[in-house]
Each structure stands twice: as C-alpha cells, then as structure tokens.
Amino acid sequence: MLGFIRVATASPAMRVADCDFNAEKMLLLVEKARQTGAQVLLFPELGVTGYTCGDLFRQTTLLASSERALTRIAERTGDWDSILVVGLPVPVDGRLFNCAAVLQNGRIHGFVPKSHIPGNNEYYEPRWFAPAADCMRKTVSFAGGMHPIGTDLIFEVSGRPSLVIGIEICEDLWMPVPPSSLAARAGATLLLNPSASNELIGKSDYRRSLVANQSARGLCIYAYASANPCESTTDMVFGGHMLVAEGGRTLAESHRFDTSGALLLADVDTERMVHDRENMSSFHQRFAWEDGIPSWRRVMLDPVGEPDADATGSAVPVRGHSPETLLRPVERHPFVPENPAVREERCREIMAIQTAGLAKRLTHTGLKRLIVGVSGGLDSTLALLVAARTMDGLGLPRNGVIGVTMPGFGTTDRTYRNALALMASLGVEIREIPIAEAATLHFRDIGHDPAIHDVTYENVQARERTQILMDLANLTGALLVGTGDLSELALGWCTYNGDHMSMYAVNTGVPKTLVQYLVGWYADHEAGPDSRHILADVLETPISPELLPPNPEGGIAQKTEDVVGPYELHDFFLYHLVRYGAKPSKVLALATHAFTGIYAPDVIRHWLRLFLKRFFAQQFKRSCLPDGPKVGTISLSPRGDWRMPSDASVEVWLKELDGN
C-alpha cells in the first residue's frame, strides 16, 4: 500500500437502548470491513447504547448491557488485527463518561472520554455525563480487565511509524482549541471522531468545513462518523454523516439519512502528513499556554495487516473511483482543479499574482516599458498577456510593451503569423528581428557545421534571441520579461544563459499543464474578438522550441513531448516528488492509477526515470534563476522553496524506483 492506510467509517442501523441488537449490527459491519481490507474502523458516539437514551443512561441495566456488549464485540473480533473504535458510556468512581473504546485482536487497549460536554439548546449531556477533566483515574476496571483511560492517550501502531491515532468525540471538534489539535502536535497523524451530531439546515456544510479545516490545521487525516438516522427522533433527527479528510481536502463523504449501514472507505496517506509536518518548522513550536498540559501516554498497538489488492467487498468507495482501485482520488493533473468553477477562479488568481509581481518590479526599477520575446507558442503568449495586463493595471499605454518576434531556422508560418497577429490585436509595439543570418555567422566563427543539427545548433539560436532581447532592453530602457515555465525548469528544458535568463520571469511558478488553461481563461474572459481566435489557434499548436527546420509540409518537426515525454506525466511526477517527498515507487504507483488506460505502466516508468535524471542533472540551471513570483504550492526558486546541490546524485532514487 506504499504508506497508505485504509480507513473505514460506519454508521450502523441501531435501536435506542438495545445494546445486544446494536452490537450485532456493528459486528455485521466488522465482517464487511474485513472484506474491504479496512485497517481502521470507526463507529459513532455512544453507538453501543444509542446517543438518545436520555435518563436511561442512569439505569444500571443499560450500563451493564453496554459493558457486556463491548465484551462480546471484543471476543468476536479476537482474530482481527485491524483497529476498532466503539462509543459507549463508562462509569468511573460514581460518574459516567462518554467514551470511545479502542479495540484490536480482541483486546481493549484504552478508553478516551469526551472532553467537552454540551448542555445548550437541544443538548443535555451534563445531565448524564461528566467531562473528561473530572476523571481522576488513569485506569479503569471494565469489561473484565484493567484498561487505560484519559484524553492523554495516543495509540501507536507497531511497524507503522507514520500511523499514530488520536481520538476526540463530537463536540470536542467544535471548540476553539479542539483536543485533536494537541494530539496532532503530539504526533497523531490519524484523528478519529465518533460523533452524534444532529441535522439542521446548513449544518452539514459547517460540519464538512470543520472536518476539512481541522485536517488542514493539524496536518493530519481526520475521520468522522455520526449517529445513524435510527436514533430517536423525539426532538432531533440524525443523518449518519461520515467524512474522511486529509490535509484540508475531503477524500470521502457519505450520503446522509442512509439506514442501510454501509461503510465509507478511503485510503489515507499518513506518510504525506509526516512529510508536511517535517517541512513546516513552525508546526512543533510550543506556546506558553501548553506548559500546563500533561505529557501524553502512548499505547502500542499490534501491527495491522495489508488489504488485498482487490479487497473492497460491498463497501461504498470514494465517489467517482472504481472499487477495484486505490480508494482515494488521485488527480491526473494535480496542478489543475477538475471543477470548472474552481479552475476558473484559480486562473484568475494566478494571473493576478503574475501581474502584481511584474507591476511591482517595473515600478521599483523606475522603468516604463517591457520587452517580451514572442514565438507564437504557449509560454510566450502567457507572458505577453501578463505584460499587457500589467500596463493596463499601471495606467500605462500597451504600446509600452515591445513584442519581439525572432524567426529562425525552425520557425513555421503558423507560429510566425500567430505571433504577429497576437501582438497587433493586443496593441503592443511589434518588432521583427530575424536571427538566421546572425546564427550562421556565429556558426562560422566557432567552426560549427550548420548542417549538423545538434545541441550547439539549437542553443546558438536560443542564446542569440536572448542576447537580442537583453540588448534591446538596454537600448529602450525596458524590463525583459521571461517566458519559461515551472515544468521546463524541473526538466531543465531551457538553454543555459539563453531562454533560461531574463530580468523577471512571470511564468516561473506555472506548470505547463496549467499554462494552457491560463491562456484559455484570458481568451474567454478578457480577450477582445481579434485576440480570441488567435489564442484558440495558439492553444492548438504543438509544444515546440522550433529550433530544428520544419518538416516537408512546413509544419513543426520538433515536438517537445516526443523528446522529453508528456508534460502531464512530468507535472504529476514533479507534484508528488517535490510537494510530498514521495518515493519514486510511490509516484509510479499513483501515476499508474491516475493514468490507467492512457499510458502503460512501462511507459510511465520510462518517463519517470527520465524525469528523475533530468531533475537532478539540471539543478545548476535552477540555482541561478531570475526572480519570478511563486503562484502555487511548488516553486523551484533557489531563494525560496528549493535548495539542492547542483551535483547531487540521483542513484538512490533510481534504485528505489527499481526496487533495489
């Protein structure tokens, strides 16, 4: 499972105060959970008795029945190494506590009582239950044994250093400082919340937000299981809402008001949470008010087995994903939101960041003009659009942008026409400076045969163009705007001291898979009619540096993705390798899952090897990047997010990919 843990939440059918019935319904779901390969199973708050028992909680008959039911659940799960969390009332020294019991392999490993007991509006819990702070004992005699009890319990799993479990109950999550925040600081990566939250208009949205936000603040996985609609409806209705969130994102969510007792499954990545915590230096910094918090007691649980590859049974998987596959959403294009509305807003914000960055740099230098090399390709188009927007935002005329097209040996009629037409439609100054003659002279000077189309042949053209742009910027008192994007920087697909260099690189934080959406967004929302159809053709043009002569039909002969591989794969590799520090084997597994039916596994492996080799070999280009704005979670700036030796070895990563 490559560090994934399969978490199941359940909200079984039940009868209020019928502990035997409720235990059997739980055990039915335990059997179903076995089929799914679940390694952690969470039931709702007070699930053994029912949350709505009221004054029946004062009846010793109910409490004794609840204790026997927990014993039976433990006995019946004696051969199951997965972790089971069950809610029930537990009496201690004449007081009653609303607890979550942690079970594994037929043993009770501890009880965590509810910290915050609501007594407002429809809630009357203080009538029956004491808050956890009133529990003066560290152990409790219950269900035939002596067991740890307290909110200071953390459950570690042998053989799984990244799987550490903390528990809070329902209302605890709604507090200003939830107990789960402290548990996360203590190392808990999986927070479980057995709950009994009733349904009100709009409450599910708020609940969903709470769960997602707590998983974000705690850099953790947060699983939530609420009471079934079979609870008493005397004054309230419960929906059985179940949620699993990871690092701020909801991975899985159940339908509400379902009395069938299905499971909700998600494969969660505890290793990812550990990586994020290691990466955030402020996560472990202590506050003065934490000094009074007692130390945590750590309970070691047994190892949990791996689920079979096809173990899903009749559970409800993550919506939109086949039950035969990894039970978590794995976006094919992690930099590009799938939701069109979210994607549109993302594009608007990115262009605003790019524009603001360039505007600040222009005003700081005291210059009034910008220069952009315009090839008719995607990256230079985006840079030109940002330059035009910057002039608009500063109240400067667009003809203060000098667009320079520099046709060379590989320039096609299509890109040439698009470059000129786009500049004209945007109202920028147009300059055309062919480079073939200068490049030919340079070939002669350095003794290179122009018939040999090697790296020298290509790089002479790239450096000639950069020299023109730099010198023209000096001549006109302008700022040279770079066009290279994040994906090219990751692969080193740029000419050192050629298109690699500029005075401000507006695309440096934008991956290739997102560039096209940004250009498309501009076409849809800001472009005039003259520009719109040109941008549409730019979007249809194959990605190419156009440094080799056109094919016999006059079309683009040098297609970047034929040489370095599909950018959608490389962006996927970049995201998981840099953002989460994932091992190459894990990146390969995720990519194989995400691109099933599109690329064969051996093809993905081939391009991943190439990505790793180029990523390490080309660091020297990233070590001296020009300034440029970070727009997303990943940046390769040597001054910001990514510091790496230019001569670091890739061998360990390649061996890990190959299973060595």
Catalytically active residues, by annotation: 45, 114, 170
596/600 Cα distance (integer angstroms): 7
Residue 168, CA distances (Å) to 110, 264, 398 in order: 13, 19, 58
Torsion of CA 524, 525, 527, 531, to 10 degrees: 0
Pinpoint the alpha helices (H) of 280-400: 340-365, 378-394
**Cβ atoms < 10 Å from Cβ of 359:** 18
Burial of residue 156, with CB atoms counted within 10 A of its CB: 0-12 exposed, 13-18 middle, 19 or more buried: middle
102/81 Cα distance (integer angstroms): 12
Instruction: Please choose, from the candidates 516, 515, 482, the residue with its C-alpha nearest in 3D space to the C-alpha of residue 499.
Output: 482
189/163 Cα distance (integer angstroms): 6
Burial of residue 66, with CB atoms counted within 10 A of its CB: 0-12 exposed, 13-18 middle, 19 or more buried: buried
Burial of residue 236, with CB atoms counted within 10 A of its CB: 0-12 exposed, 13-18 middle, 19 or more buried: middle
The upper half-sphere exposure of residue 391, i.e. CA atoms within 13 Å in the direction of its Cβ, equals 25
Instruction: Please choose, from the candidates 40, 178, 54, the residue with its C-alpha nearest in 3D space to the C-alpha of residue 125.
Output: 54
**Cβ atoms < 10 Å from Cβ of 660:** 8
* Coil vs helix vs strand at 338: coil
Which residues, in sequence order, are CB contacts of 190 under 8 Å at separation 6+?
A: 5, 7, 40, 163, 164, 165, 166, 220, 221, 223, 268, 270
577/593 Cα distance (integer angstroms): 16
Q: Do 535 and 523 contact (CB within 8 A), yes or no?
A: yes
Q: Do 21 and 66 contact (CB within 8 A), yes or no?
A: no
Q: At what angle do helices 378-394 and 413-426 cross, to 10 degrees?
A: 10
For residue 526, report the phi and psi dihedrals to the nearest 5 degrees: -130, -20
Residue 224, CA distances (Å) to 136, 238, 449 in order: 28, 14, 68
For residue 285, report the phi and psi dihedrals to the nearest 5 degrees: -70, 135
